[in-house]
Every structure is written in structure tokens, then in C-alpha cells.
Structure 1
Amino acid sequence: MITTRPTRRAVIGALAATVASGTGAEAAAPFDRWLADLRAEARRTGISQATVQAALSGIGPIPRVIELDRRQPERRLTWAEYRDRVVAEPRIGNGRRAFTDNRLLLDALEERFGVPGRTVTAIWGIETNYGATTGGFPVIQALATLAHDGRRSSFFRAELLSALRILDQGHIALERMTGSWAGAMGQPQFMPGSFLAYAVDFNGDGRRDIWDSREDALGSIGNYLARANWRAGEPWGFEVRLPAGFDTGLADGRAMRPLSAWSALGVRRAGGGPLGQSEIPTAIAAPDGAGGQAFAIHRNAQAIRRYNNSIYYVLAVGLLSDLVG
């Protein structure tokens, strides 16, 4: 998993840069007292005593989690630097093999959710190197650390309660519920709240297992994008060439116009050819400014943005999907 990208799937990568300043933990209640209050809240929300006892006994803050949460990046990567780290070997070659090896499953996912297998594969590859790097932190303890710390306590407390609910529903054993330092879990790196909203039991065994079931993990990615309004049959986008003097303030990756409108402003395909007169809603993204790469991105790119609210991530998924499938 690339830890230097600008944002984490909807929330995680931005945490270090956006949390409030201050000590947080110094003002928090002692952990044992805080944990007793959390146990009571968990029981009030319907989580069983057995789950509360098993998950919230004998735990304490993890200093390494606090350290990682405090860490500020020295500088923000440019798009070109990020692209060269993320859309590169061995991820490309491994992605082609993963796409081929899982073609039957990916075809079944596309039939159900309308999301191309190459897009699911690209997200899988960027998130966890095709399931190889899912994080080794105990999710309950990591979330308890962050919820107690006080810097994003409300958010992480809600995620911790969601994680307890996942355990209570029997989807995964406590010892197997591992993930990133911030609680992102399994092969898709879902936060617990996203798990409850989007994870699916694609293999039909009665559990939504995004850790060890490839069917459930990839199915959950497909379901997430489908619920984010993925449009079957539409492309994500492509590289373009901006004309001299183009107002890069228009290239924010969000402002949608018909593709023909961008053509009228002089935007061309990367090879110099015309965009055509399509009316498909399109935004222009030029994350490194006038001197860097530019892209025309469509509504499916905005669905990818729902998975991780970073234009770098969106473009990397799109480019990798073109290469693996």
C-alpha cells in the first residue's frame, strides 16, 4: 500500500494533514475510564456482552499509531512523482496477471455491478498490492487509540463501534481483524463504516469477509463503485493536450461540461487529434499545472473519487486500469 499518496480512501490519507493541532491525548480521560464508558455505549447500541468483553478487554493505546497519526509529510508529491511510484512495475505486471487469473470472477462482478474488472483490479492493486499488503495493526486497538486520543475522537469512536458491530455479526474473528494504523481493513481497505455500508457476501457463505475471501473483497469494491453511481459502458477518461494560454483554473477535475465544449476551447487528445463532438459530461484535470499531464475525465472518474477523494488517486486508478486490462 502506498502511504505517501495525498488522501486515503475517502478519509484516511488526509488525516495526518487535516487533524486539529494540539496534544489531544493530554486532555482526554484516562484510558481505562474512557474504555469503561465505551463498553457501556457499545452495550446500549445492541452489541453483545460477549463481543464487548472479548474485544475491549486487556487493550491499551498503541504508541506507534499515535506516532503515525502525528507524522506530517515533509512535502506533497507532485502528480508526476506520485504516478511514477504508483502506476509502475511491478504493480503493472502483477495487475495483468491478477486480471487474467481472476477473469471469471471479475466477469461475474461486472455482470452484477456493471463495473469493469480492470477497474476493480486497479483499485485492488493500489490499495493492497492485490491483497498482499493489508496492514498488521489490530483494528479494535488502533481505533481505540485514535478515539481516545481526542484529535478525531468522534469519527474514530463511531468507526470503533462499527468495528465492534462487524465482530458481533460474525463476519471475521477478532484476531483476524487487522488493518492499517487508522483502521482501514482488508483487501479493499474499507473503514468499518464503509464495510457496513458496502461490503458484500459475494461467495454466499453468510459472511462478508474482505480479508480472506477474494470474492467478497473484489465484490465489495464493485459494489462500492456501483453505489457511487458508476455508469456501465462509459469510459473513465483519457489524456489530453491543453492549448497555449489555457486557463488552468478550469482544470480542477470537477467542473463538468460536454466534451464538445472543451473541444471548442482548443483541448485536443494527447496525440493531437480532435476530441470530437460528444456531449458526455467531462471535466479537465491538470494536477501539475500547465506544464504537466492533463486529462479529460468523465462521470466514472467521479465515482472513483468517492472511493478516495484525491485526483491523484483517480488518475492512477484510471491509468492502471487501462494497463492491466
Structure 2
Amino acid sequence: MLRSSFLALVSLLLPLQAQAQCGGGFRNFVQLMKEEALTGGYDSATVNSFFQSVRQDPSVLKADRSQGVFQKPFIDFSRRLISKSRLDRGQAMSRKYDTTFRRIESTYGIDRGVLLAFWAFETDYGAVQGSFNTLNALVTLSHDCRRPTLFRPQVFAALELFRQGNFDPRRTTGAWAGEIGMVQMLPRDILENGVDADGDGHVRLKTSAPDALMSGAKMLSNLGWRPNEPWVQEVTIPANLDLRLSGTYRKKTVADWQSLGVSPRNGRLAGPNTKAALILPQGHKGPAFLAYPNFDVYFEWNQSFTYVLTAAYFATRLSGAAAYDAGTPDTGLASDQMEQLQRKLSARGHDVGDVDGILGAKTRVAVQKEQERLGLPADAWPTPALLSRL
């Protein structure tokens, strides 16, 4: 079955998936998935062999509900993930796989720092790829009712990888959310973006760094990466800047930002007509960044604002940028206070998504609107003062 055939299968199964119920008995749920696969054109021997060993994994659900690290603010989170050891190892890997990175830069126009940062954060340069059985993880998360539509297509993608001889239902392991390999790609992404960069006839993302890096680069390219353009850059802002202009959804040209007094902390800004958003992850007293169009592509890889900004910033460090100026941010909120804030914002009609104690993009937008309404600095950084005023 070619990639086009797989996509046809997915489109055929989507109506069935929309009607299928999550939850209920696990074995019955697996049986329904098997019937969907048979409807999609797979033979019974392949389907039975693929699903034969599948088991529900409670540890996957526990991991899914225990992502407290994303509750940390940017400075704490980035300092936790970025160390001198990771910087040094990144430079060593850059030299070791220079040929691969040159090929990536030539083919896709993606700076090596971008791939090195993902490689570092996802698996510590391949050293920690996860020990969860991938099929069990994907089916468990599909059966769970939190995000079934995200994970169900991945099960069928894994089935196609199995049919091709590139997935072992019993032995393929990875992260708790079903990602596989050195840069942690989901099965459907592997099908659509896998590259045999080392020429051995297989796409092996767990054992071949060239395969993993080239596949990750192709995925970023297909997600919309603009070749040979920057992604994020640290800047300084004037004291009198209208903070309401900041935020990922408010973009101006670089020329406009310069006219407002925004300047690069190091190097040069992008071209004057390039669109950029001003990001103040911990308010106007903390670090400041201009986010260029490629920064948006990061959110196609990971939905966490803190993770995305940290990965993008680390990529600049690996490409030679200096460490950011942390400044002196106002005290933020503890996780229980953040949940309280989210409930208050939701009660006022704001869409903050889940009340999870995480300062995500939706919560930031709501915070900024309330800051503006209350006459506080509208920098999207929630403080005890804002919580008290609400």
C-alpha cells in the first residue's frame, strides 16, 4: 500500500472513527478497530497479527495526566532543559554529523540548530527514546476519551508501517504518547516524512541519526518551514512600549518594531518586511523575543508554549547566540493559583482551554485582555496582583 493508498484509507475510516465510541470495554474497542482496518482493505491475517498482543497500559494514562513540568515558567523550564553539557554535546553532534546537517541545510534550508535542539530535548541526542510499547500506548490513548481523534489515525499508520515491515507490535517502543525514534515522530509522520538518509533501504529512526534528522527536517519543511529564515531572536524593548502590542497573535513588520524602539540584543534583525510577534514569556521585566514566521511551525510539532519557546531559543544557542538576559520578572503564580486564575477567567467568558495550571496561549490572551481592562501592564504575564484584582 503506497502513501496515497494509506491516506485514502484514513479518509475512508474517518467517518467510522467519528461514530465510534471511546471508552467502554477495551477488548470490544480493539475489535471495532480491527473491523475498521478490515473495512479499509487490510487482510485478516495482517490485522489479527498486528492487534494480537495489544494491551491497555495504565502507565500511559498516568504519564498523560502528570505533565507538571509544563507548569514551570519559561526561565525555570529553559534552565532545567538547557545545560552546558547539552550545549557541548550539541556542538559535538553537529561536527559528527556535519555531512547530514549540510544536506539538511541544502535541501530544506533548516539551520542545524533547530534539529539539534529537538534531538536534545526529545531524547537527549538519542540516549533516552522511551520504553513504552508503542502500539499499547497508541491504542490506550485512542480508547481514552481525552484525545481519541488525535491518536486513532496513528494506530492505523502503525498498522501500515507493520505491513511494510517497519513496525513490530511487540517490540517497537518509544514515548508514552506513541512517538518513535531519536526525534520522536508519530507513525503517521514517519509514513509521510520518513527518509532513508543513510541509504540502507530502511527508515530507522531509532538507530540511524541521519535517518532521524533528515526525516525530522522533511517533516518541518512539510509543516511550512520557510527556508533560510530565522525563527526567534532575543531583543530589547523600550520602557515606554505599548505592551498591548505584544503576544503571538499580534504581528508587525520588523521595520515597524524597529520604529517602536525594539532592537536586537545581538546581531541583526530579519529583513524589514518580515512579519514578527513580540513575545514576553514572563512579562515586560523579563526576557523578550521577536518570533518570526518559522516560530509558528514549532506549534505543529508541540502545543506547549513554554516548550516551543525553549526549543526555539535553544536552537539559537546551538547556532551561536548568547544566553538571554533573564531580567527581573514580577513574581508569577503557583500552579494552584494559576488554576484559580483560569477559573476566574473562564467565568468572565474567556476561552482558556482546560483548567490545568499551565500558562498556555489561550490563557495568555485572556490575561492580556483583563490586564488591559484593569489598567495593568498588558504583557500577558499573570501576577498575584492580577489574581487579586479579579
Identity %: 30
8 Å contact kept, 1:68–1:181: yes
Matched, 1:319 2:313: yes
Match of 2:274 in 1: 280
1:266 corresponds to which residue?
261
State whether structure 2 residue 60 is matched by structure 1 residue 65: yes
CA distance in 2, matches of 1:176, 1:118: 32
- Choose 77-86 or 225-234, whichever is displaced more: 225-234
Distance in structure 2 (CA, Å) of the matches to 1:72 and 1:110:
33
- How many Å separate the matches in 1 of 2:119 and 2:150? 25
User: Are residues 203 and 274 of structure 1, via their aligned partners in 2, closer, same or farther at CA, if it must alter by over 3 Å?
Assistant: closer
Alignment-derived partner of residue 366 in structure 2: none
- Please say if residues 241 and 269 of structure 1, whose CA atoms lie closer than 8 Å, have aligned partners that are also in contact: yes
Structure with more relative contact order (C-alpha pairs < 8 Å, separation 6 or more): 1
Residue 86 (structure 1) shift: 1.7
Residue correspondence of structure 1 range 38-57 to structure 2 within 5 A: 38-57=33-52
- 1:186 deviation in Å? 1.2
The normalised TM-score by structure 1 is 0.83
Unaligned ranges ≥5, structure 2: 1-20, 320-390
Q: Deviations over 1:190-234 (max 9, x none)?
A: 122222232222233333221222221101111012122322222
Q: Does 1:31 align with 2:26?
A: yes
Structure 2: which amino acid aligns with 1:68?
Answer: A
Q: How does the TM-score come out when normalised to structure 2?
A: 0.70
The structure number with the bigger radius of gyration is 2
| 1:6 equivalent in structure 2 | none
Equivalent residue, structure 1, for 2:291: 297
Residue type matched to 2:302 in 1? N
Deviations 1:71-99 (A, max 9, x none): 36387111111111122232111111111
Q: Structure 1 residue 123 and structure 2 residue 111: aligned?
A: no
Q: Distance in 1 between matches of 2:36 and 2:279?
A: 45
Q: Please say if residues 99 and 324 of structure 1, whose CA atoms lie closer than 8 Å, have aligned partners that are also in contact.
A: no
Aligned 8 A contact 1:253 1:311 in 2: no
1:90 is paired with a residue whose SS is helix
Task: Work out whether residues 96 and 323 of structure 1, in 8 Å CA contact, stay in contact via their aligned partners in 2.
Answer: no
Tell me whether 1:179 sits opposite 2:171 in the alignment. no
Contact 1:201 1:209 in 2 (8 A): yes
Instruction: Indicate which of 76, 92, 98 corresponds to 2:93.
Output: 98
Aligned to 2:388: none
Q: How many residues align?
A: 299
**Aligned counterpart for 1:155 among listed residues 145, 150, 156:** 150
Structural mapping, 1:74-113, within 5 Å: 76-113=71-108
**Contact (CA 8 Å) 1:252, 1:283: kept in 2 or not?**
yes
Which residue identity does 2:277 align to in structure 1? A
Greater shift, 131-140 or 70-79, is seen at: 70-79
By how many angstroms is 1:179 displaced? 1.2
87-96 or 287-296: bigger deviation:
87-96
Helix, strand or coil: the match of 1:223? Answer: helix
* 1:208 aligned partner, one-letter code: V
Change in Cα spacing, 1:41 to 1:245, as seen in structure 2 (3 Å) is same
Asked if the contact 1:109/1:222 (under 8 Å) is kept, the reply is: yes
- Structure 1: 5+ residue runs without aligned partners? 1-24
Q: Secondary structure at the match of 2:71?
A: coil
Which secondary structure state, in structure 2, belongs to the residue aligned with residue 174 of structure 1? coil
* Conservation of the 8 A alpha-carbon contact between 2:232 and 2:313: no
- Please report how far the alpha carbon of residue 280 of structure 1 lies from its aligned counterpart in structure 2 after TM superposition: 2.0
Q: Conserved in 1, the CA contact under 8 Å of 2:225 and 2:294?
A: yes
For the residues of structure 2 that align with 1:185 and 1:275, how far apart are their CA atoms?
Answer: 36
CA distance 1:249–1:82, shift in 2 (3 Å):
farther
Q: Does 1:168 align with 2:138?
A: no
1:256 alignment counterpart? 251
Structure 1 residue 256, shift from structure 2 partner: 2.5
SS at match of 2:68: coil
Q: Tell me the SS of whatever aligns to 1:238.
A: strand
Provide closer, same or farther for how the CA distance between residues 252 and 43 of structure 1 changes in structure 2, counting only shifts above 3 A: same
RMSD: 2.5
Q: Give the drift of 1:320.
A: 2.2
User: Amino acid of the residue matched to residue 281 of structure 1?
Assistant: K
Equivalent-residue separation in structure 2 for 1:174 and 1:276 (angstroms): 47
- Does structure 2 conserve the Cα–Cα contact (< 8 Å) formed by 1:224 and 1:307? no
Which of the residues 121, 136, 142 maps onto 2:137? 142
* In the alignment, structure 1 residue 244 sits paired with structure 2 residue 255: no
